[in-house]
Amino acid sequence: MIHIISLSDDDCLYAIERKEFSEAIVNAGENVAVVMSQDWCPQWLQMNRFLNDEVNNQTVEITVFIVEYNKRSFFNNFMKIKENIWGNDQIPYVRYYKNGKYTGDSNFIWKDLFFSKFTRLQ
């Protein structure tokens, strides 16, 4: 099952300040993905569609946090962290966590590869 949760402003401001998401985010489940994008991005629209389509179809539990940061007041500061600290200037940008530990990142990937990021770590 997939649990999709929108990041709050406080969650994002924490990441801007500390350069990483809070323990509450990265430990929200055994498998966590944080997807950061902008609402106009066609790859994000496709990814969002497959995440929502698969909510009840996956055997692995995944908590997915999302933020469309171009809609937020901290847009420029968030983009600086994403690009200058995390080294990624593409969207969507996804960070993966397993049992609270960062395991890697990606940009847009197809559905099967996204889910394999978690099943290969089982």
CATH of the domain at 106: 3.40.30.10
| Count: domains in the chain | 1
Hey, which residues does 62 pair with through a beta bridge? Answer: 2
Query: What pLDDT, on a 0 to 100 scale, did the predictor assign at position 79?
Result: 94
- 22 secondary structure, DSSP code: -
pLDDT value of residue 121:
55
Query: Within 10 A of 29 (CB to CB), how many other CB atoms are there?
Result: 16
List per-residue pLDDT tens for the chain, 122 residues long: 899 999 999 999 999 999 999 999 999 999 999 999 999 999 999 999 999 988 887 778 999 999 999 999 999 999 999 999 999 999 999 999 999 999 999 999 999 999 998 887 54
Q: What would the two tokens of residue 19 be?
A: 């350069």
* Predicted pLDDT of residue 21: 98
Task: Identify the domain containing residue 104 by its residue range.
Answer: 2-119
User: How many angstroms separate the CA atoms of 105 and 26, rounded?
Assistant: 13
pTM: 0.94
